[in-house]
Structure 1
């Protein structure tokens, strides 16, 4: 169990959460003593597989608009409870109208993908500055390739073409994973998702799960519909807009943290990961706690924001971008401007 930045992470199997007055009582059969956490300190609970929450506490959280999310041990999102839907219906109406307009949908989708590709280039260029020789040359060459993908994206005439440009850029980017984390114990090379097949891909998937929870919550706080997006296909139960808005954050907030953890040897790929019969690789409970602490520390870091021309803490970036998207949908901004750094 880790409480950081008003989010309570509960990951130890067998742990149960109970309502005790105006506090959360944490119980585990193997632990002695009584742990109480005032509800006033917590605005979001994240529960991993094997942990439970009682109905009375869940309903209290819903009444207080305190969100509760469930994730698998690998960090994959499973469910979320937030209570009554909040927000301005006029904003959601504008959001849905934009989704029905091919021109506006394409404009927003291109901006989000451009932000992702731009920030991916920054990850590669920063990594190149910290190395030399062939590895440096490959990272810089790939960064230049991504610059050309931005030109391809600018010429996209449909969302499908924009997604095609994004897919090509993602393939180029993940091809150099072994040069971003040179220890061969971490990765077999390339991105594997379902399931993640090596420790680095496992770490990336877990951090994407954390990022998805943060972005989903930011959209709901602003009053946007997380399920009506512009880039990912609309399907029942799929938070398309949350997945859309994640894209520009992935390289710098998730990928870079994963590479840092691996290269600084904060985890051991041989002992901090478990290989499952399905071929999936997952974090051990101890390693998951280490990653959660690293994730929360990273959320306190300030990042430059090109549009606002000021530094913004990482934890607030999804909220800032959700607000900028809302302003565009209300026609207060002529376009959606993704978060980028130079």
Structure 2
């Protein structure tokens, strides 16, 4: 199955002879069998042909519009796409053993990925003690008997992680994690990147029929898609944190490209936003990753889409072991 994401401005998405195509100025960028299409996400000023829109509505294939900053705007859906039974099953599993196992898996995977990021860069600074401390906290999560306990260890690991991350950041070093507003350039990039990731998860979750506001780990809140926050946790270090470090080290973004606002927050300027957004999009959608028994390389977005699909199977069968 294919979740098509279009990022090139001016692209045209259509169908011909049983195949989906994406063209830019008459040049074919990609093509694949129409029966494998699961969704279309437009992150650019692109066009979907009227015929394909009708086909998608008939087959209940969603077409979504997302800004280049990752904000979900809306889209087209067929009249029979209501997933009531799935969302009822999703709600029934809240505050159950399923929820606890979900929280343990998400948080341990997140800490594992944070450790991997520190380890890859530890030659630049000694973060061995931080890694050891985080490994110990990760092991304790397996014995937690409540989600609050899991979140407690997550918070302690995060404090150690961001201290180590700061030491790896050179002139972008920061005192602590800050948000709403971010108080320094490094935190500014983290906040912007997490916002893109959050909105991407929001749209993908909704596309596949889950309710993005019914999470298992994060607390409910008005306007807060807690399931999107849950699922994005383990991907933060892989996609956003690693990108921020790379942009700094490659000097693709400089400290002079940030401005301080009246609220005390520090924000990227237009040029930095453009550079950062392009880098994150490439990180998400570039098919660089080899998977055993699969010839075609996969992108992080492919892995994320697959993970959401496995969560749906796990929810419907009430079997957490199906979640990958």
- Shorter-chain TM-score bucket reads 0.7 to 0.9
Which residue, out of 146, 151, 154, partners 2:139?
A: 151
Task: Indicate the residue corresponding to 2:310 in structure 1.
Answer: 324
Task: Indicate the residue corresponding to 1:286 in structure 2.
Answer: 271
| 1:227/1:238 contact within 8 Å kept | yes
Task: Indicate the residue corresponding to 1:222 in structure 2.
Answer: 208
For structure 2, the residue ranges without an aligned partner over 5 or more in a row are 15-24, 31-38, 46-52
1:15-164 matches, within 5 Å, as 43-45=40-42, 65-69=62-66, 80-84=73-77, 86=81, 88-99=83-94, 101-128=95-122, 130-131=123-124, 135-136=125-126, 139-164=127-152
| 1:91/1:329 contact within 8 Å kept | yes
Question: Structure 1 CA distance, aligned partners of 2:194 and 2:291?
Answer: 21
Which of structures 1 and 2 has the larger relative contact order (alpha carbons within 8 angstroms, sep 6+)? 1
TM-score by length of 2: 0.76
TM-score by length of 1: 0.73
Structure 1 position 332, deviation (Å): 7.7
| 1:76/1:206 contact within 8 Å kept | no
Question: Structure 2 CA distance, aligned partners of 1:246 and 1:332?
Answer: 22
Number of residue equivalences: 287
Matched, 1:188 2:181: no
Structure 1 position 221, deviation (Å): 2.6
- Over the aligned positions, Cα root-mean-square deviation in angstroms equals 3.6
Is the partner of 2:305 in helix, strand or coil?
A: helix
For structure 1, the residue ranges without an aligned partner over 5 or more in a row are 10-16, 23-35, 53-59
Is the partner of 1:208 in helix, strand or coil?
A: helix
Question: Structure 2 CA distance, aligned partners of 1:322 and 1:117?
Answer: 20
Question: Structure 1 CA distance, aligned partners of 2:224 and 2:310?
Answer: 22
Question: Structure 2 CA distance, aligned partners of 1:225 and 1:321?
Answer: 15
Structure 1 position 305, deviation (Å): 6.8
- Please, which moves more after superposition, 248-257 or 311-320? 311-320
| 1:177/1:190 contact within 8 Å kept | no
Task: Indicate the residue corresponding to 1:31 in structure 2.
Answer: none
Task: Indicate the residue corresponding to 1:29 in structure 2.
Answer: none
Question: Structure 1 CA distance, aligned partners of 2:128 and 2:161?
Answer: 11
Structure 1 position 111, deviation (Å): 1.0
Structure 1 position 336, deviation (Å): 5.6
Structure 1 position 114, deviation (Å): 1.1
Task: Indicate the residue corresponding to 1:269 in structure 2.
Answer: 255
Question: Structure 1 CA distance, aligned partners of 2:231 and 2:306?
Answer: 11
1:206-239 deviations in Å (ceiling 9; x for gaps)? 1111111221222123221111100111223211
Question: Structure 2 CA distance, aligned partners of 1:5 and 1:95?
Answer: 26
Is the partner of 1:68 in helix, strand or coil?
A: strand
Structure 1 position 142, deviation (Å): 0.9
Is the partner of 1:162 in helix, strand or coil?
A: helix
Structure 1 position 287, deviation (Å): 1.3
